[in-house]
Amino acid sequence: MTPSVPTGRLPDRVDVTVIGAGVVGAAVARELSALDLEVAVVESRHDVGDATSKANTAILHTGFDATPGTLESALVSRGYGLLRAYAQVVGIPVEQTGAVLVAWTPEELAELPALERTAVANGYTESAMVGPDALYRDVPALGPGALGGLTVPGESLICSWTTALAFATEAVERGAHLRLGCRVEGMSRQVEHTVLHTTYGDLASRWVVNVAGLASDLVDGWFGYRRFTVTPRRGELLVYDKQARSLVDRIVLPVPTSRGKGVLVAPTVYGNVMLGPTADDRDDRDDTSTSETGLSFLLEKGATVLPALLDEEVTAAYAGLRAATEHKDYVIDVDASQRYAVVGGIRSTGLTASMAIAGHVTAALLDAGLDAARRRDLPGPPRMPNLGESFPRPYQRADLIATDGSYGRVVCFCERVTAGEIRDAFASTIPPTSLGGLRRRTRALNGRCQGFYCGAEVRRLFAAFQGGAGPSPATTEAR
Amino acid sequence: MSTGTAGPATLVTPEVLIVGGGPAGLTAARVLAGAHRRRVLVVERERQAGGIPRHCDHTGFGLRDLRRVLSGPSYAGRLVAAAEEAGAEIWDGATVTSWSAEHGAEVTTPRGLFTVRAGATVLATGARERSRPARMIPGDRPEGIYTTGLLQNLVHLHHGRVGEQAVILGAELVSWSAALTLRQAGCDVVAMVTAHERPESYSALTALGRRALRFPVISGHRVVRIIGRDRLEAVELENAATGRRRLQGCDTLVVTGDWVPDVELARSGGLDLDRVSRSPVVDSDLRTSVPGGFAAGNLIHPVDTADVAALDGRHVARPVLRWLDDPGAWPSPEGARVVARPPLRWISPGRVAAGAPPRSRHLSWVDRRIGVPVVTVTQDGRVLGRRRLMWPAAPGRVFRIPSDLFAAASPAGGDVVVEVDGRP
């Protein structure tokens, strides 16, 4: 078993335990650790944001297409501003590319006015209808047959990996106890506490917040609820070579259906182009394999939307699981008698809404009797390494290289990751425990060669920085 | 070498910049710096120059250029030493992050940032094997999947361990190199799988390889799925003819060959690229579409053997010198193209010009095997040459065509069409 990081025992007893360190769990932990509370965060996987969060489409949504009046609509709308501001403070790369929703059939075209009204009802007033001429002027590589579109200038790209890590880093620096690789296998109720039975022993917690994502319905069941069932919805994605980036400078969306937002084409903050996701309901909560049908479906969509994309090389193919439920809205609720909160049914909008969700559930906990004052001794926010292409990276910075030559030693050529950045990742508050973790902190190995050139050297550095005593890098999967 | 500053980067102005310190780049550097006394800078992003042969720990290198047979690492070492002795400057661990003929190269090194402006640039950035995601093989994403490059880096340079039972995808020359490396790493090869109806590499080698290495070569099959959550457990194979599928257990998969040229700089520098191979289009002097920009080695023919790449480097020296002495004489890129017709996939040089290319061979790639190929070259409806060749055309390795078949082609004429025909 990989030792979790940060190391050290969990205390026997805490005020609040957050189950799950995805992007939302980490945001909740960060918010709670601003209060005068002993906070624990337990995560079954070996990294922060290592399940649903890492395979997100990584878009900071305006919420223009949410269902008006829902909790999701309110929290996405509020979360957009909160995360945007936070991103600037801690250095999460965000690029406001804007989006255009493209109608390919008369039926889709007929839906655009209603979508524009929905956007307004969601408080988003920047959208505008555009004709095909404007579409082809803005995205010349768009496939033939587009009839019209709706612009959403506020839609932005964001790095979902850095977001989850920033929240968790700040929570840990505020004193939260983060335990990775720690699975909660059951619980028992006592008068004053809930005792969580984990793979690392028992943890008594006065309050429990369930942000367990794909397992949130199971945890909810332990508290006697049958509110929702999670059906893992697999989303397969293709990431194209950076050389495709000139084909598309904004997010190209389809007209949404009841199944979700559909297959989009979007640049990424790392300078690639993404095509996906599929939406395919599964039984297995761990199955993140890609499939022949999924990949060929994506190619078919891509051929319509941006045919020239298919001439480019694929850099990565991966799949993520969204915790879809039978409900159309988030399920966020506090049970004061059990001192238990659930944050479930969080869809792909959860990345955008994460900080607003955290604020919302924290307020609800305080209302329900969680007794804590805001701390006055909080450390400042962390500064995260920049993984984005639109901000200077170490290999481009003469000043940084002059002080430390290891920022001039490029190890991963395709992504231009330096030895200095890899070293820094291991010295960070939440160091990586796998090559996958290193990828998400530095981008090393994420490029077009997929390790042909640098794979061996990155593995050597991984082993060296783990001090030889650490685990061998168990996984190399991309996200 | 004179230096100055250009913003935060230090300006360096050699006469010739060579990007890539593999066999092609190092050989060009040796000839230009040595016999011709030019100031040459080779920029190599790996910590040691030498290119791919550094981690090919088997014999067979140097035959055509050095007239001897060496192991990969000692061949690489000799090329580096020869270039240095000739007076070329080699920067190891220096990465060119952008290049254009107009603005030069931006280089990141541990010593700082540099801008290199040179009279001539030779791009010799090589080629890499297509990765598993780029081949779009679906399934799980476990540990245990390598390209030959990664495998050989791990085993020969870092002495790392791989698994115990390997499947090799591909039956090109490099695939056999992967088999040798696996054997040295103590990993059994349980099967070599190729989509082609027969192995791509020379039959003699295949037969020899089969006897020496004792594993089955499964032809006419594709890998259609990867199975294994943490560690690779099996691959699913599909018979291309019948569609029948079966599982093949393994804990290691090496995806070999299927080369793609490393064209990031060539593309950002605005060079004309071949529509299919994506390599820069060059003429027989290895001149690209941009004045002062040359390309050599496996970047322009992904891939031939290391010694053939090295001979590109030797060949390019004379045109580079001509350009340095008379910068003005650059052929228009508008001239006639050489067009490969299926089953030929690409051909290089792809532009018609006077003179013969390196080794007087045009290099090409075929998608289906032709045992006794007949090559026909035509321009504007006129047959320039037709010949039956004594060697087969086979997928997975370069098919060499004597350049005298193109001798009558006119740069001012229409496209020169190359066709190949014959019995499988």
Nearest neighbour of A455 by CB, restricted to B150, B225, B260:
B150
B132: nearest CB among A238, A395, A450: A450
B416-421 β-sheet, strand order = B338-340, B416-421, B374-379, B382-388
Dist CA B337 CA B358 (whole Å)? 18
Kindly list the residues from chain B whose CB atom is less than 8 angstroms away from the CB atom of residue A399: 8
Residues of B in contact with A449 (CB under 8 A): 128, 131, 147, 149
Chain A residues in contact with B141 (beta carbon < 8 A): 288-290, 318, 476-478
Closest residue of A to B226, CA-based?
A: A289
Mean pLDDT check: name the lowest of A151-165, A387-401, B208-222.
B208-222
Q: Enumerate the residues of chain B whose CB falls inside 8 A of the CB of residue A2.
A: none
CB-based contact A450 B131, cutoff 8 Å: yes
Q: Which two tokens stand for residue A50?
A: 């290592």
Using alpha carbons, list the distances in angstroms from residue A8 to A19, A134, A468, B338, B405.
18, 58, 19, 67, 74
Percentage of the residues of chain A whose pLDDT score is greater than 90: 91
> A151 pLDDT exceeds 50?
yes
Which tokens hold the place of A155?
Answer: 């839609």
Contact status of B267 with chain A (Cβ, < 8 Å): yes
The pLDDT, as a whole number, for residue B198 is 76
Nearest to A290 among B130, B134, B138 (CB): B138
Residue A201, H or E segment: strand A201-210
The shortest C-alpha distance from A73 to chain B (Å) reads 35
Give chain A positions within 8 Å (CB) of B153: 453, 455-457
CA B65, CA A108: separation in Å to the nearest integer? 63
- Alpha carbon of A447: minimum distance to chain B alpha carbons (Å): 10
Chain A residues within 8 A of B8 when measuring between CB atoms: 398-399
Measured between beta carbons, the chain B residues lying within 8 angstroms of A310 are: none
Is residue B337 within 8 angstroms of chain A, CB to CB? no
Judge: B230–A475 Cβ closer than 8 Å, yes or no.
yes
pLDDT at site B202: 57
CA angle, corner B179, sides to B176 and B185, nearest 5? 150
pLDDT band at A472, cuts 50/70/90? very low
- Six token digits for residue A289: 């394999």
β-pair type (B399-402, B361-366): antiparallel
Run of H or E including A438: helix A435-442
Residues in chain B with CB shorter than 8 Å from the CB of A477 are: 141-142
CA nearest B228 in A: which residue? A289
Beta bridge partners of B376: B386, B419
| Tokens of residue B10, six digits | 């230090």
CB contact under 8 A, A450 and B109: no
Shortest distance, CA B97 to any CA of chain A (angstroms): 8
Tell me what pLDDT residue A474 has. 39
Of residues B45, B141, B154, nearest to A413 (C-beta): B45
Mean pLDDT is lowest, of A228-232, A359-363, B155-159, for B155-159
Per residue in A247-286, pLDDT tens? 999 999 999 877 677 999 999 999 999 999 999 999 999 8
Please report residues of B whose CB lies closer than 8 A to that of A417: none
Query: Over chain A, what is the mean pLDDT?
Result: 94
Give the closest-approach CA distance of A179 to chain B in angstroms.
Answer: 21
> Cβ separation of B138 and A243 shorter than 8 Å?
no
Greatest CA separation for chain A? 67
Using an 8 Å Cβ cutoff, are A24 and A361 in contact? no
CA A466 to chain B, closest CA, distance in angstroms equals 16
Beta strands A128-130 and A148-152: pairing type?
antiparallel
DSSP A408: G
Chain B residues whose CB is inside 8 A of the A234 CB are none
Q: How far is CA A182 from the centre of its chain?
A: 20
Residues of chain B found within 8 Å of residue A289, distances taken between Cβ atoms: 138-141, 226
Exposed/middle/buried for A206, CB within 10 Å: 0-12, 13-18, 19+? middle
CA angle B404, B405, B411 (to 5 degrees): 90
pLDDT given for residue B172 in this prediction: 87
CA–CA min distance B95, chain A (Å): 7
Quote the tokens at residue A113.
């006015």
Picking from B106, B108, B158, B275 by the largest number of A CB atoms within 10 A of its own CB, the best residue to mutate is B108
Long-range contacts of B402-406 (CB under 8 A, 24+ apart): B402/B360, B402/B361, B402/B362, B403/B284, B403/B356, B403/B357, B403/B360, B403/B361, B403/B362, B404/B356, B404/B360, B405/B362, B405/B375, B405/B377, B406/B338, B406/B352, B406/B362, B406/B377
**Most A-contacting residue of B141, B155, B245 (CB-CB within 10 A), to test interface:** B141
User: What residues contact B28, with CB distance under 8 A and at least 6 apart?
Assistant: B16, B18, B40, B122, B124, B296, B312, B313, B314, B316, B317, B320
- Which residues of B fall within a CB distance of 8 Å from A453? 46, 128, 149, 153
Q: Are A306 and A248 in contact, with CB atoms under 8 Å apart?
A: yes
Q: How many CA atoms lie within 13 A of B74 on its CB side?
A: 11
Q: Which of A413, A456, A473 sits opposite B150 (nearest CB)?
A: A456
Q: What is the per-residue burial (b if ≥16 Cβ within 10 Å, else e) of A43-65?
A: bbbbbbbbbbbbbbbbbbbbbbb
- In this prediction, residue B208 carries a pLDDT of 59
Whole-number Cα distances in Å, A393 to A144, A159, A415: 37, 15, 10
Task: Say what the pLDDT of residue A190 is.
Answer: 93
- The tens digit of pLDDT for each residue in A1-55 reads 333 345 567 888 999 999 999 999 999 999 999 999 999 999 999 999 999 999 8
In angstroms, the CA A329 to CA A338 distance is 23
pLDDT of residue B203: 56
Residue B129 contacts A where some CB pair is shorter than 8 Å: yes
Pick the residue from chain B with its C-alpha nearest to A317.
Answer: B133
Tell whether B6 lies on the interface with A, counting CB pairs under 8 A.
no
What lies within 8 Å, CB to CB, of B13 at 6+ separation is B1, B2, B3, B116, B117, B118
Q: Tell me the percentage of chain A whose pLDDT exceeds 70.
A: 96
Closest approach of chain B CAs to the CA of A239, in angstroms?
9
Confidence of residue A61 (pLDDT cuts 50, 70, 90): very high
**Residuewise pLDDT in 10s, chain B (424 residues):** 444 444 589 999 999 999 999 999 999 999 999 988 999 999 999 999 999 999 988 888 999 999 999 999 999 999 999 999 999 999 999 999 999 988 999 999 999 999 999 999 999 999 999 999 999 999 999 999 999 999 999 998 888 789 999 999 998 889 989 999 999 999 999 999 999 887 766 555 556 566 667 889 999 999 999 999 999 999 999 999 999 999 999 999 999 999 999 999 999 999 999 999 999 999 999 999 999 999 999 999 999 999 999 999 999 999 999 999 998 889 888 879 999 999 999 999 999 988 999 999 999 999 999 999 999 999 999 999 999 999 999 888 899 999 999 999 999 999 999 999 998 8
Pick among B131, B135, B223 to test the A interface (most A CBs inside 10 A): B131
Q: Chain B, 142-201: which have a CB under 8 Å from a chain A CB?
A: 142-143, 146-147, 149-150, 153-154, 157-158, 160
What string of H, E and C letters represents the secondary structure of chain B?
A: CCEEEECCEEEECCCEEEECCCHHHHHHHHHHHCCCCCCEEEECCCCCCCCHHHHCCCCCECHHHHCCCECHHHHHHHHHHHHHHCCCEEECCCEEEEEECCCEEEEEECCEEEEECCCEEEECCCEEECCCCCCCCCECCCECEEEHHHHHHHHHHCCCCCCCEEEEECCCHHHHHHHHHHHHCCCEEEEEEECCCCCCCCHHHHHHHHHHHCCCEEECEEEEEEECCCECCEEEEEECCCCCEEEEECCEEEECCCEEECCHHHHHCCCCECCCCCCECCCCCCECCCCCEEECHHHCCCCCCHHHHHHHHHHHHHHHHHHHHCCCCCCCCCCCEEEECCCEEEEECCECCCCCCHHHEEEEEECCCECCCEEEEEECCEEEEEEECCCCECCCCCEEEEHHHHCCCCCCCCCEEEEEECCC
Residues of A in contact with B110 (CB under 8 A): 401, 405-406, 408-409
Which residues of B are less than 8 Å from A290 in CB distance?
138-139, 141
Query: Residue type for A386, please?
Result: N
| pLDDT at position B3 | 47
Which residues lie closer than 8 Å to A51 by C-beta, 6 or more apart? A22, A45, A213, A214, A321
- B254 at interface of A, judged by CB pairs closer than 8 A: no
Alpha helix ranges (H) inside A8-67:
23-32
Q: How far is A172 from chain B (nearest CA, A)?
A: 28
Inter-chain CB proximity A288 and B141 less than 8 Å:
yes
Q: Tell me the C-alpha distance between A97 and A89, whole Å.
A: 20
Per-residue pLDDT band at A470 (split at 50, 70, 90): very low
ipTM for the whole complex: 0.94
Chain B hits for A316, CB-CB cut-off 8 Å, are: 133
**Pairwise CB contact (< 8 Å): A452 & B131:** yes
- pLDDT(A476) > 50: no
In terms of Cβ atoms closer than 10 Å to its own Cβ (0-12, 13-18, 19+), residue A213 is buried
Interface test with B, best of A450, A458, A462, A477 (most B CBs within 10 A): A450
User: What is the rounded distance in angstroms from the CA atom of residue B158 to the CA atom of residue B55?
Assistant: 10
Domains of chain A: 1-96+155-228+328-390 (3.50.50.60), 97-154+231-324 (3.30.9.10), 394-478 (no CATH)
CB contact B131 to A (< 8 Å):
yes
Residue contact B230–A460, C-beta within 8 A: no
What residues of A are in contact with residue B9 (Cβ under 8 Å)? Answer: 398
Question: Which residues of chain B lie closer than 8 angstroms to A402, CB-CB?
Answer: 112
